[in-house]
Amino acid sequence: NNNNTKQPTNFTMVYGLVRSVQAAVKYRGGWKGLLEHMYTNGDYPFKMGTFMGSDAAGNRYYENRIDYPFGQHRWVEPGDIHNYDSSSVAPEWHGWMTSMNDDPPCSEDTFIAEKTETVEQMCRSDAPDKSNLGLMDTDNIYNFHDLHNQSQIRSRGYGIGNPIVGLPPGVKDGFYTQPGSPYNEASIRPLEFVGSLDKDGGRSFKNSKWAERLRTAEEKKAMVDEQVGEVKSMADMFGSVNAKRGGGRGGTSVGN
In tens, the pLDDT along 65-80 reads 888 888 888 988 888 7
- pTM comes to 0.49
Tens digit of each residue's pLDDT (9 = 90 or more) over 6-20 = 566 676 777 777 877
Largest CA distance in the chain: 140
Tens digit of each residue's pLDDT (9 = 90 or more) over 215-226 = 999 999 999 999
Q: How many helices (H) and strands (E) does the chain have?
A: 6, 5
Of 21, 33, 38, 86, nearest to 59 by C-alpha is: 86
Tens digit of each residue's pLDDT (9 = 90 or more) over 144-180 = 776 777 777 888 888 888 887 788 898 888 777 777 7
Task: Give the C-alpha separation, 73 to 28, whole Å.
Answer: 18
Cα radius of gyration rounded to whole Å, the chain: 39
In this structure, the strands spanning 60-63 and 50-54 are: antiparallel
**Position 26 pLDDT exceeds 70:** yes
User: Facing residues of 74 across strands?
Assistant: 63
Q: List strand residue ranges (DSSP E) for the chain, in order.
A: 50-54, 60-63, 74-77, 195-196, 204-205
**Residue 118: its pLDDT value, please?**
75
